[in-house]
Each structure stands twice: as C-alpha cells, then as structure tokens.
C-alpha cells in the first residue's frame, strides 16, 4: 500500500520585530507547521511559496520523507532544521535564491564550517559531537537541546543570546550529525560529553542552559563538578530526571536504579560489598520502587479498557527518531544534590496543545498528566537552595520560543549576578 504524503497544518504568521543593531522595524515571517510523511520536495516547495524565495534542491535528493513540527518559529529556522535532518545546508545568493547543498564530508573530521560555525569534537574514542559556535561577545553560554532535538533546533534562541553572550550549542551523541555509538547514554556519561566539549573549547566556567531532558546533564554536572560551571539554567527542564523528589518518587528512575543495584549485587566480590548493597536495597531502593510501581499501577486504566498494542509505535512529531532515545531513558538517574547557582524556568501550567482541540477525553488525560508538575517545581525550589525558580503560566514546553522576552529577562538578570569567571 502506498502512503500518501500529508500536510496536516500550515499556519503563517508575520511579526514586526526591532533589529537590535539598527533600531529599525523588520518583518519576521514565523510559521506554525506540522508535517507527517511528506516528501522533502513537497515541504521545500511549501516553504518557498510561504517565503517568496526560490529554493533549489540538488537533483538527487528530495524523495525522503519528512516528519516534523514547529510552533511560531522563524521560517528560516524551520527550513534549516528540516535540511539538517537530511545532511543538507542552505546558502542564499545575492538574488535571494536559496541553494540547498549536501553538507561537506570534511566537516565530519573536525574542521569548522565557515558558514555555520560547526565543528566536530571528540569526546571519547570514535565518538564525535557536533558543536555550533554562533558567535557573540561576553560570557560563554552553552545550549543543550532536549531529547530528540539537535543544537540546530535552538538556532533562533541562540541568535537572541548572541547580542549579550558568546553562544555555543552541542548535539548529544545519538542524534543529528553527532556519532551514534551503541553505548554511553547514561546521564553521567552524557554530562561527561558536555564537559569534554567545554574543555576542548577552552571555556572557563561557562553558563549551561538546557531544555527538557538536558536537565539531567545539567544536574549531573552540578552534582559532580559544580566548579566547572558558573551557573545552570533549566529551560522547562527541572523534572524528575533532573531532580528526584523523594516524597513522590518516579517509576522509571526508581526502576533504573533498582536494575543498576541488582546488577552490582550480581557481581559483588566481597561479603562487605554484598552486605552494603543488600542494605541499600532493603532500606532505599526496594521501598522506593514499591511506592513508584504502586503509583504507576494506580494511573493505568482499568483492564476492561485495554486495547491491543499498535503494530508499529507512533512517530514522535517534531522529534528525530533514534535508537538512542530508549537508551537515554534507561540511563536516567537520581539527582538531589546540585551545588551551584541555578535558574529554573518552568512552563506552569503548560499551554494546552492545539492538537487536543475540543476533545474532552484527550483534555482530561492531558490535565491529569500535568497535575504533578507544580509539586515537582515546589520540591526543586525546596531541595536546591541555590535556585531561583520562575513559573511562567500558559507557556509551551519550548518556553524560550513561546515566551522569549521573559526567558531572556530572567537569564540576563541571573547571569549578571554571577561572579566573574576566573
């Protein structure tokens, strides 16, 4: 059966913005788009019609399928992010024609791209991470994307920060143009990758800002190596994978910790080590897992509502598929001792997604899933004395795009109060 390409929604928005350098009003074309199973040629044609530009693809590309979603985002960021997924880049000539080209293979071996400031940094044997240098002046700020995203997805926000800071972005292993090894996806290992990049760039105590699951990398560094950074900024990222609320627990994290402890017990080499591990299991891990698994059971629908599992898992709209996703979720850890200055920005309550529409059942399920996050923010605020916690109501999970002025204001105030880097 041939699947017909579909364009689910395309909404064009035009915003007048002020250019910080000239003070002149400029027209910024922004888009809300959701594509599923559309060919790259069709998506690029739609982008060309929207922007009024001519976009020229190489003759031997274009039949690849695209699954992507953006909300209220600059159209060029949308285009560049889509092309990035297919190892392509865009260049604009003097006549406003955009030429799409294949990314040079040479960039893979570590030479920076002159047009994008891209380089590849080795963090472990045979593991190279894509690092973007957006430029700017002032204190170094390193951006980390959420799960399934790459540094390119932070482009628009990064450009806003470059007026005040020197901004970098890292694409974690397993995604985008970075290496995708079979192992190395625990939270601490991913955080070590970030530290290796910081050392390679020669950055002195940068500010790290991470979105969503990048919060686990921030917390790992803030727990183990707080001296390496000036501060941490959680962009709707301080959830259980970043801060473990002992009062509530977390099913996935407790399961991961129990699995790790049992593996350690299986290879214990002495009576003392065996005794220590069993004591920890009995006093901490098993009670936590019991509480978490009972909570998980209570959230499941009654057996009468069970339905067969789909033949194939649904696609994550707006996420780049990667086997690394499951490995990363299996590598989440407990973090409770974060010892450096912190700014935690929560989108609380989250804005109801447009995809829910007027479906009351979907809305009820979504609201139930959101109900625990205010308690998580409260726990983070109590448990991390160095943190300033900001709650922005009715914001999107990508809070830096839905509420950029508020996020920028909070970040600038936070960074201005940090001691100077030595």
For residue 96, pLDDT beyond 60: yes
Strand residues in 40-176 grouped as ranges (E): 54-56, 65-74, 88-92, 97-102, 118-124, 127-135, 140-144, 166-171
What number is the average pLDDT over the span 82-101?
66
For residue 7, pLDDT beyond 60: no
Which has the minimum average pLDDT: 196-200, 243-247, 317-321? 317-321
Q: Write down the pLDDT at residue 360.
A: 80
At 51-88, the pLDDT tens digits run: 777 888 887 776 777 666 655 566 666 676 677 666 67
- Decide if 224 contacts 195 (C-beta within 8 A): no
pLDDT band at 381 (very low <50, low <70, confident <90, very high): very high
371 is a domain residue: yes
- Decide if 33 contacts 11 (C-beta within 8 A): yes
What number is the average pLDDT over the span 396-407?
92
Pairing of the two strands 127-135 and 118-124: antiparallel
Residues 93 and 131 grouped into a single domain: no
Q: Write down the pLDDT at residue 416.
A: 95
Residues 366 and 407 grouped into a single domain: yes
Domain hosting residue 208, numbered range: 112-243+335-416
Residues 124 and 171 grouped into a single domain: yes
Look at 99 and 149; give whichever has higher pLDDT. Answer: 149
Residues 117 and 262 grouped into a single domain: no
320 is a domain residue: no
For residue 112, pLDDT beyond 80: no
Residues 166 and 271 grouped into a single domain: no
Residues 216 and 365 grouped into a single domain: yes
306 is a domain residue: no
- Decide if 110 contacts 119 (C-beta within 8 A): yes
Residues 128 and 165 grouped into a single domain: yes
pTM beyond 0.85: no
pLDDT band at 238 (very low <50, low <70, confident <90, very high): very high
At 21-32, the pLDDT tens digits run: 333 333 446 666
pLDDT band at 375 (very low <50, low <70, confident <90, very high): very high
Number of Cβ within 10 Å of residue 20's Cβ equals: 10
Q: Write down the pLDDT at residue 172.
A: 96
With CA atoms as reference, report the closest residue to 40 among 27, 58, 54, 53. 58
Tell me, what CATH number does 44's domain have?
3.55.50.30
For residue 33, pLDDT beyond 70: no
Sheet holding 25-39, edge to edge: 6-18, 25-39, 65-74
- Decide if 312 contacts 174 (C-beta within 8 A): no
313 is a domain residue: no
Kindly tell me the burial class for residue 403, based on how many C-beta atoms sit within 10 Å of its own C-beta (0-12, 13-18, 19 or more). Answer: buried
Residues 342 and 399 grouped into a single domain: yes
For residue 414, pLDDT beyond 60: yes
Tell me, what CATH number does 136's domain have?
3.40.50.1820
44 is a domain residue: yes
Q: Write down the pLDDT at residue 45.
A: 80
pLDDT band at 127 (very low <50, low <70, confident <90, very high): very high
Residues 14 and 82 grouped into a single domain: yes
Count of the separate structural domains present in the chain: 3
Those residues whose C-beta lies under 8 Å from the C-beta of residue 214, and which sit 6 or more positions away, are 144, 145, 146, 235, 237
Distance CA 56, CA 267 (A): 58
What number is the average pLDDT over the span 353-370?
77
Q: Write down the pLDDT at residue 70.
A: 58
pLDDT band at 225 (very low <50, low <70, confident <90, very high): very high
Q: Which of 79, 103, 127 is the last residue of a domain?
A: 103
197 is a domain residue: yes
At 261-272, the pLDDT tens digits run: 888 888 888 999
Percentage of the chain exceeding pLDDT 90? 43
Q: Write down the pLDDT at residue 348.
A: 92
Pairing of the two strands 6-18 and 127-135: unpaired
Question: Could you tell me if residue 198 is left (phi over 0), alpha (psi between -120 and 50 degrees) or otherwise beta?
Answer: alpha
Those residues whose C-beta lies under 8 Å from the C-beta of residue 374, and which sit 6 or more positions away, are 348, 349
314 is a domain residue: no
For residue 94, pLDDT beyond 70: no
Residues 66 and 205 grouped into a single domain: no
Mean model confidence pLDDT for the chain: 80
**Which range is most confident: 90-104, 135-149, 267-281?**
135-149
What number is the average pLDDT over the span 191-217?
97
Mapping DSSP to helix (H, G, I), strand (E, B) and coil, where does residue 92 land? Answer: strand
Which has the minimum average pLDDT: 96-100, 306-310, 338-342, 355-359? 306-310
Q: Which of 103, 122, 137 is the last residue of a domain?
A: 103
What number is the average pLDDT over the span 200-211?
96
Q: Which of 51, 85, 103 is the last residue of a domain?
A: 103
Residues 258 and 354 grouped into a single domain: no
Residues 199 and 261 grouped into a single domain: no
Mapping DSSP to helix (H, G, I), strand (E, B) and coil, where does residue 71 land? Answer: strand
181 is a domain residue: yes
Tell me the three-class secondary structure of 284-340, residue by residue: HHHHHHHHHHHHHHHHCCCHHHCCCCCCCCCCCCCCCCCCHHHHHHCCCCCCCCCCC
With CA atoms as reference, report the closest residue to 395 among 369, 359, 412, 370. 370
């Amino acid at each position: 059966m041939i699947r017909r390409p579909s364009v689910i929604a395309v909404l064009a928005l035009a915003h007048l913005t002020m250019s910080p350098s000239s003070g002149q009003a400029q027209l910024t074309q922004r888009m809300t788009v959701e594509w599923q199973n559309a060919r790259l040629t069709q998506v690029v044609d739609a982008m060309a019609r929207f922007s009024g530009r001519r976009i020229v693809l190489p003759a031997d590309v274009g039949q690849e399928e695209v699954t992507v979603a953006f909300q209220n985002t600059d159209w060029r960021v949308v285009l560049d992010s889509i092309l990035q997924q297919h190892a392509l880049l865009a260049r604009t000539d003097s006549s406003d024609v955009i030429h799409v080209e294949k990314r040079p293979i040479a960039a893979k071996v570590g030479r920076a791209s002159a047009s994008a400031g891209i380089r590849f940094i080795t963090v472990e044997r045979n593991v190279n991470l894509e690092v973007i240098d957006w430029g700017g002046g002032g204190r170094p700020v390193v951006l980390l994307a959420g799960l399934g995203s790459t540094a390119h997805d932070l482009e628009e926000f990064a450009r806003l920060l470059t007026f005040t800071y020197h901004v970098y972005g890292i694409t974690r292993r397993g995604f985008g143009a970075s290496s995708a090894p079979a192992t190395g996806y625990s939270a601490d290992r991913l955080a070590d990758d970030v530290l290796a990049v910081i050392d390679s760039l020669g950055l002195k105590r940068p500010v790290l800002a991470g979105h969503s699951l990048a919060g686990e990398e921030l917390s790992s560094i803030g727990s183990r190596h707080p001296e390496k950074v000036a501060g941490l900024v959680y962009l709707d990222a301080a959830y259980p994978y970043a801060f473990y609320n002992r009062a509530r627990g977390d099913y996935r994290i407790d399961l991961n910790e129990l699995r790790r402890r049992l593996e350690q017990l299986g290879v214990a080499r002495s009576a003392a080590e065996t005794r220590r591990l069993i004591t920890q299991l009995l006093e901490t891990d098993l009670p936590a897992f019991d509480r978490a698994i009972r909570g998980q059971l209570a959230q499941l629908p009654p057996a009468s509502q069970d339905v067969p599992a789909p033949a194939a898992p649904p696609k994550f709209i707006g996420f780049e598929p990667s086997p690394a996703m499951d490995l990363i979720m299996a590598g989440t850890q407990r973090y409770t001792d974060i010892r450096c200055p912190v700014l935690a920005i929560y989108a609380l309550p989250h804005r109801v997604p447009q995809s829910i529409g007027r479906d009351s059942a979907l809305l009820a399920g979504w609201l139930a899933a959101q109900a625990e996050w205010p308690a998580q923010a409260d726990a983070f605020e109590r448990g991390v004395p160095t943190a300033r916690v900001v709650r922005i109501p009715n914001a999107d999970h990508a809070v830096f795009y839905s509420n950029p002025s508020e996020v920028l204001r909070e970040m600038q105030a936070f960074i201005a109060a940090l001691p100077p880097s030595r």
